[in-house]
Amino acid sequence: MTSYLESSENAELTPVQQPFRRSAWLPTLQQMVDAVQLRFAAVPPVISEPGGNVPDGNVPDGNVPDGGEPALSNPAAVVRFHPFDLSMRQGLGLVCTIALLAGLLPFIWNWTQAASIGTALPLAQAARNWSSPTPVTPNSALDIAAETAQIVAGLPPRGPAGLAAFWSALGEWLNWPMRWLAVWIVYGLGVAGMALLLGAHSTLQHFYAATSYAFIPLLLGALAFVPVLGWLLGLAGVVWAVVVYFHAARTITGLDTLRMVMSMIAPVALGALAMLLWMMIVANAIFSALL
């Protein structure tokens, strides 16, 4: 699928020919709105504005009048494109961009928190996460770990404390796209493979491009550091993302609801089973070494 630019005057130039334009790496805003509103199958590949017409003869099937010739009364009409008129490169750009936007506020929060303690972010997080408001039991393992974490976090850094806090928080922020891309690629490979076994006919490139829209609702997770409200918004974003992923995958693969649900659940179930088996193997090895 080759994505085209939004206006008819640039319709002959594709993002591949213009690699430094925004449209080469991101879908249009209208495409993203259609996707998160689950308007996948309802929007034909090309729709002209009211009174406008499709430029350069790009008329979808069924939109040609009975006379056989499309009307061209307004060749400068702005064109809307179907959400699936998308390349995998645009899907990759969308996932990375949404991840950076979602991690921006947590980056600022982490930076200020680490700078207030005067240490790097991992040490500040360790001190905060292991802190126990009241001793559980005298000299308990939790209290010892919390005290150790606080002592380590309080050690003076070799460089300026502000720079240590900034660079560690920046590194955490830049890890957001890496984590999201890993989920997009690994989970998507499992879902696409299972869907293929169940009768899907879509290509892997088109599947990845379509399911990249599912990461847009995860923007709600940008406020996850806010008590209570952040968790609720994050949960709503995850549920919304699963719904968008389901509808996008079902539309692009052509599977029915039951087979699509099986395709989405199977990778998670297999991953959980593999993790359980690995934990059992490790536990057995540890017990065998101790006995």
* Three state DSSP letters for 116-168: HHCCCHHHHHHHHHCCCCCCCCCCCHHHHHHHHHHHHHCCCCCCCHHHHHHHH
Contact, 24 vs 16, CB < 8 A? yes
Residues 99 and 65 in one domain: no
Contact, 131 vs 150, CB < 8 A? yes
Residues 43 and 99 in one domain: no
Residues 38 and 81 in one domain: yes
Residues 62 and 191 in one domain: no
Residue 46, φ and ψ in degrees, nearest 5: -140, 125
User: What is the distance in angstroms between the CA of the first residue and the CA of the last residue of the chain?
Assistant: 60
Q: Is residue 190 part of a domain?
A: yes
Identify the domain boundary among 56, 86, 116. Answer: 86
Range of 5's domain?
Answer: 1-86
Residues 100 and 236 in one domain: yes
Residues 239 and 214 in one domain: yes
- Compute mean pLDDT per 10 residues along the chain, 291 residues long, and list them: 37 51 80 84 43 40 43 40 75 93 90 76 65 50 55 57 79 92 94 92 88 93 84 92 93 91 94 92 85 69
Residues 260 and 280 in one domain: yes
Residues 80 and 184 in one domain: no
Angle subtended at Cα 202 by Cα 198 and Cα 204, rounded to the nearest 5 degrees: 100
Q: Please tell me the total count of domains within the chain.
A: 2
Residues 99 and 45 in one domain: no
Question: Does the model's pTM come out above 0.85?
Answer: no
